Amino acid sequence: MIDRAHIPSIRYLLLAGAMLVSAPAAAGEVTPDRLINADKEPQNWLMNHRTYDSQRYSPLDTINKDNVKNLKLVYAVALGGTTANENLEATPLAEDGFLYVVDQWGVLYKIDGRSGDVGRILWTMDPHQEKLPLTNRGAALWGNLVITVASYPARVIATDKDNGKVVWETNLNDQTDVQLTAAPLVVKDKIIVGAAGGDRGVRDWIAALDAASGKLIWRNYVIPAPGEPGSETWKDKNNAWQVGGGAMWVTGSYDPATNQVIWGTGNPVPMFDPTYRPGDNLYTDSVISWNPDSGKMNWYFQYVPGDMWDYDAAHSHILIDGTRNGQQVKVITHSARNGFLYTFERDNGQFLLAKPYLSNIRWTKGIDAESGKPVEYDPKKDIQVYSGQQNQTLADPTKKLCPAMSGGNNFWPSAYSPKTKLLYIPSMSSCNELTLDPSLSNKAGDWKGARFHNIERNDSDIIAADPMTGQIKTTIHIPYPNNSGVLATAGGIVFTGFTDGTFAAYDDTTLQQLWKINVGTGFDAPPMTFAVNGKQYVAILSGLSKIAQRRHDFTPELKNERNQTMLFVFGL
């Protein structure tokens, strides 16, 4: 594979820099001002979560509670499909009627949706990955470029959005099995990316690249090296920090007012054997605030020190301006994989509350109201056991996990509506079983050292909760897994998809189902919405991962379901 990290000539870079300094933005260029003020163009969806606050809320209201029953499929586009088990988890981007979509191979598609009744592929950019990665969760827009990631080798690629030609490509392949799966986050003149592949023994990192040239500006590792702050929490003699995990595999948030990027991190590795890596294992299972200019860590909070159940915290952290106890507050909220809803002060990460959003939690008896740590946490212990109900050992190797390894909430994102002031949490409601198996162990984890089993039907819930109090307002139960995530709109609707192929709309107050369609192939990707010529559309990608398909072990009616990778677009 040719490393094209420095494709642009010096003359090109100088010209590009001069244009950025002296010339006004050309029509269609995605500027930092446009991204900060994304609500001023609600017809577009310019970044992964639509806005920097990751609320996944759209001000569009043409499709609403009264007319959503008339929603219909207006067009579909086949994507990927070169192998049998591809999955699509990306959120399409939309600008002025053009859609930018990425498949699992990292292939970028520009689709013309301006007619409103058909989607025509205008061009594709193929990064020529050497093998199929875990997934690819989408793209970003900056200037006249579409920024994507690819794995094997791990690269960030900038493509001219007019002609589909690669402008620059930066190779970040610093370790075997490092992957880039999260959609990039554009902050001012930088592209922020987080590394994945932690379960396979990658020491993960966050990095910033110059948006015009692709030059690496800074890179900071989640797992500290010996002597660095936090290294004292890796108390092993195995150099476990070198394969420590801490993957950043879901796109973070950004607060322009305080200039901080908020990004969650994944589990420690080896995944299920804390005896190999005694200690709290910072900065895994954490939310971290970074300065995007310097890469300096501002603050952090760790959810599950010494995690042995894969309860990572990599998925989205939502920024909310609201009222708490009669006071105006700026907070971060996170519906954690471990079954609790957390809220923090945004400026400094000060813990405010944690309340269960699941009814069946076995790993701990609760969260301490002062520290935010599990009530059983003992800083003097090298190996935490918490409630004692789930800590698998060689003498007692099989334990029932509630929530299951996947959560709770996971990469399928929650959404927040400033209209209802409610957080909508798509959550798995099942438990599973984990059995230690030393014959499978290796130092880097790689899903080794244990076997997990589905022991019951995988169902899901949609939970409406108040993030300022943690109070659950409404819950509905669905007999199929939700790996999709949710979208909230000003039309009073919550949209989501399920693994049985159902795409549905719910009332944002009562969660009453208002409309549904079954397209026959399941969803792993979150829905989004955009508008063209005043008409609103809702779009979603289909295609299930092998893990998602395994969740149908106890769902006999889906035994013969087929997997197709498609873009579906709906309208009135």
Question: Per residue in 538-550, is it b (16+ CB within 10 Å) or e — as a string?
Answer: bbbbbbbbeebbe
CA dihedral 62, 65, 67, 72 (to 10 degrees): 90
Tokens of 94: 């939309």
Q: Which residues contact 380 (CB under 8 A, 6 or more apart)?
A: none
d(CA 514, CA 505): 6
Choose the catalytic residue: 189, 310, 508, 524. Answer: 310
Neighbours of 80 (CB within 10 A): 22
DSSP state of 13: H
DSSP string, 15-74: HHHHHHHHSPPPTT-B-HHHHHTGGG-TT-B-STTSSTT---EE---SS-TTTGGG-EEE
Would you call 310 a catalytic residue per the annotation? yes
Enclosing H/E stretch for 548? helix 546-550
Query: Which stretch of DSSP H or E encloses residue 354?
Result: strand 351-356
Tokens 């970044």 locate to 47
DSSP-assigned states of every residue in 256-272: TTTTEEEEE---BSSSS
Annotated active-site positions, please? 310
